[in-house]
Amino acid sequence: MITVTVAKDFSRHPAGRYLKDGPYTGELFRKKFLEPNVRDHDRVVVVLDGTRGYGSSFLEEAFGGLVRAGFEKATVLQKLELQTSKPSLAQEIIEYIEDAATGKYAAN
């Protein structure tokens, strides 16, 4: 099991979707923390508290992007454990993982 604390390991100001959108984007977080850890570990705990907030585009690209990058939806849902004091964040991330294959929330 590995724990990733977004505020401590990545940034307190995560924002943006693609690498070109800024220094701490969803794509960067996925490539740097989610993809390698989901590939190499049975369980990945992601601690979401402590940042200045999340944009939906960041969440969609980071977590929904895992499925588009080739990870099985069921595997991602089984391995990820989301820790947050805000129930809406965990629910929104799960929706992005579940709907990633349909492209419902992907970039316009």
Could you list the residues that contact other proteins (CB under 8 A)?
Answer: 13, 15-18, 20-22, 52-58, 60, 85-88, 91-92, 95, 105, 107-108
Burial class (CB in 10 A: 0-12, 13-18, 19+), 106: middle
Which lies closer to other proteins via its Cβ, residue 37 or residue 65? 65
Smallest separation (angstroms) from other proteins to the CB of 85: 8
Which lies closer to other proteins via its Cβ, residue 1 or residue 19? 19
39 Ramachandran zone, left/alpha/beta (phi>0; psi -120 to 50): alpha
- Nearest CA among 61, 66, 60, 10 for reference residue 39: 66
Smallest separation (angstroms) from other proteins to the CB of 89: 9
Smallest separation (angstroms) from other proteins to the CB of 10: 15
